Structure 1
Amino acid sequence: MTSFEGSYLGASDKISPRAIMECKICWTPYDPSEGDDSRQVLPGTPFLALPDDWSCPGCNAPKAQFLVREDPGNAEEARIEAQTRALVADFTEIFHAKMRDLPMVNQALHVQAVGFRRHEAPELPGTLGVLIAPWFMNLVLIPDQPLALKPGEKLTLTFPSGAYEFIFNTREQTGDYLACALFSPMGDFTSQLQAVEVAHAVMSELMKSENRAETDRSAEIRARAEGSLTEVAQDEAEPSPPEVPTLIAPTRRALLTGGQG
């Protein structure tokens, strides 16, 4: 049985015939509804039914290098899709209502949820991914259960790469969520594609234990973000002032993005 890195811990039997896969090397998708003209694979062919020697049309990576991008036939994927759709809808509404004409907004970007997946953590399980908006990029965790927190309250969560400080907020469609600021403002990004590539890098580097510092960095995060994280909750609800500081130290950001930011 073929295993897939990052896909349900390699359990291919959890991938439905409708699963849309994505190459982790170049992000080329394989959509069963479209097939693959380059290899004469007919539309309607599930990813698991592809020949063993099939490779990525974009970079020739083997099947084992593909991740699940979305799976309409999987109940868990459908739930995550609904959550990210609500998250994007909330922040798209904020953009059009309050942010679109501010000078800090990067008009080359739009709101997009990237890499959201199930996050099984004893301390706080939920759905984890990166939210891109024209004025920020945040690591976002949507918890499984409502949290007894007030907007603006902070919570430190631990990942293989270290401890990260999140701020709590809630939205009408999304419900409760926690956000860790990565970039704000977004003026250094020249395209949506560049922002998406960095978001993918964040999700990859976040889960690598070799990125953990020799000492706990939660104090560093708190020191550098003191006061600023509270502003993030306000920034998302109200227009921000023209100058918004980067909320994570460049060295920390470089660690997470693999130097792509």
Structure 2
Amino acid sequence: MTGPRFEGSYLGDASKLPPDAAMECKICWNAYEPSLGDETRQIPPGAAFLALPEDWTCPECGAPKEQFMVKGGGAPMPEPTVDPVAEAVRALEAEFREIYNGRMRDTPLVNRSLSIEAIGFREWEGMLVGVLVTQWFMNIFLLPKPGTRWDGLRAGEKEVLAFPSGEYEFIHNSRDGIGGYKACSLFSPMNEFASHMKAAEVARAVAAQLFDPKLAEPEEDKGTPLSPPKAEPEAAAPSKLPDLRREPSPTRRGLLFGDPRGLGAAEGDAPEAPKGAAGPVGPEPAGAIPASAVPASSPGGAAE
């Protein structure tokens, strides 16, 4: 059940109506002053307009309470609160919706069962960190802290940044609508995600695991910062899922870049490791990406 709506008063939100607000009928302009009350209905002085009986009507013309609007007085109308993080996220989504509608909609790269959604964005060390899901890629995105800009970024330059879970390589880019940003590719294309719900589930897991120190490599095992494996010029045959009965150790690359359940090669298999791949980090941590949500292969995608 919704509360009463007062036309012309605080955008119709009765909860923001101060107790001493004077109201006037928009039919006959008769005023209700809380300091005076209403003698015709035996309403005592000091009764707020919101406290009037449900069947109260204008003493002059009989208009219902809904036809009254703010006359003046009372506490000043509070300024609407604006969440700067939410505003930045909305601008990011709007920018990539424009890209999708203007350039990507009719290309074979897109998965039309997906939609554009920014997931898990939070402030961290002077910037906003989260995951952007689109119809053609999923990237970790870094945006400048609200009120600042990264106008000095040069498109294509790379930067290694450290997070609690390890170091990651980001590519700089910029768009007119959002300015400079940094992106680390997770998936591209997105054709193996059966639904947006599954893609969003993976994105939420990545956004959380990025800040999980249990995924960090021991200092002595650190190598090249993680980045998505580069696609070979020729299409490779789909890789087999590991034999889960062998319980291989999860890897940080697998957890963040989409190998089901974060699993690396099964024991006894010895494929050549991608350059800069992380080693095993022990038992699978809690909150790992659910196997059902992750496609069988995870080609890395370039940042838009």
Q: Does TM-score exceed 0.5, indicating one fold?
A: yes
Residue of structure 2 in register with 1:216 after alignment: 222
Residue of structure 2 in register with 1:258 after alignment: 288
Residue of structure 2 in register with 1:104 after alignment: 109
Residue of structure 2 in register with 1:113 after alignment: 118
> Identity, % of aligned pairs?
36
C-alpha displacement at 1:223, in angstroms?
8.8
Q: Give yes or no for contact 2:185–2:228 (8 Å, CA) kept in 1.
A: no
Q: Give yes or no for contact 1:118–1:126 (8 Å, CA) kept in 2.
A: yes
Matched to 2:87, the amino acid is: A
TM-score scaled by length of structure 1:
0.57
C-alpha displacement at 1:213, in angstroms?
2.1
Q: Give yes or no for contact 2:167–2:225 (8 Å, CA) kept in 1.
A: no
Query: Structure 1 residue 146 and structure 2 residue 176: aligned?
Result: no
Matched to 1:133, the amino acid is: T
Greater share of residues in helix: 1
Stretches of structure 2 that go unaligned for 5 or more consecutive residues are 4-14, 16-79, 236-251, 263-284, 295-304
Matched to 2:176, the amino acid is: E
Q: SS at the partner of 2:226?
A: helix
Residue of structure 2 in register with 1:93 after alignment: 98
C-alpha displacement at 1:104, in angstroms?
1.8
The CA deviation string for residues 98-138 of structure 1, in whole angstroms up to 9 with x for no partner, is 1111112101001111111111x2xxx21111100000000
Q: Give yes or no for contact 1:163–1:216 (8 Å, CA) kept in 2.
A: no
Note closer, same or farther for the CA distance 1:224–1:197 as it changes in structure 2 (3 Å cut): closer
C-alpha displacement at 1:162, in angstroms?
0.2
The CA deviation string for residues 56-104 of structure 1, in whole angstroms up to 9 with x for no partner, is xxxxxxxxxxxxxxxxx765xx111111111111111111111111112
Note closer, same or farther for the CA distance 1:249–1:105 as it changes in structure 2 (3 Å cut): farther
Residue of structure 1 in register with 2:54 after alignment: none
Q: SS at the partner of 1:213?
A: coil
Alignment: residue pair count: 166
Distance 2:228 2:137 in 1: 20
Matched to 2:199, the amino acid is: A
Greater C-alpha Rg: 2
Q: SS at the partner of 2:182?
A: strand
The CA deviation string for residues 152-200 of structure 1, in whole angstroms up to 9 with x for no partner, is 1111111110001111111111111110101111011111111111111
Q: CA RMSD in A?
A: 2.9
Residue of structure 2 in register with 1:135 after alignment: 136
Note closer, same or farther for the CA distance 1:216–1:153 as it changes in structure 2 (3 Å cut): same
Distance 2:112 2:210 in 1: 28
Query: Structure 1 residue 161 and structure 2 residue 165: aligned?
Result: yes
Q: Give yes or no for contact 1:164–1:221 (8 Å, CA) kept in 2.
A: yes
Distance 1:138 1:117 in 2: 15
Q: Give yes or no for contact 2:153–2:174 (8 Å, CA) kept in 1.
A: no
Residue of structure 2 in register with 1:204 after alignment: 208
C-alpha displacement at 1:203, in angstroms?
1.1
Residue of structure 1 in register with 2:182 after alignment: 178
C-alpha displacement at 1:251, in angstroms?
6.2
Q: Give yes or no for contact 1:127–1:142 (8 Å, CA) kept in 2.
A: yes
Q: Give yes or no for contact 2:171–2:183 (8 Å, CA) kept in 1.
A: yes
The CA deviation string for residues 15-45 of structure 1, in whole angstroms up to 9 with x for no partner, is xxxxxxxxxxxxxxxxxx99xxxxxxxxx8x
Note closer, same or farther for the CA distance 1:166–1:99 as it changes in structure 2 (3 Å cut): same
Q: Give yes or no for contact 2:109–2:136 (8 Å, CA) kept in 1.
A: yes
Distance 2:122 2:108 in 1: 33
C-alpha displacement at 1:216, in angstroms?
2.3
The CA deviation string for residues 201-225 of structure 1, in whole angstroms up to 9 with x for no partner, is 00111111111123224x1535945
Note closer, same or farther for the CA distance 1:182–1:220 as it changes in structure 2 (3 Å cut): same
Distance 2:120 2:159 in 1: 22
Q: SS at the partner of 1:221?
A: coil
Distance 1:224 1:103 in 2: 22
Matched to 1:211, the amino acid is: L
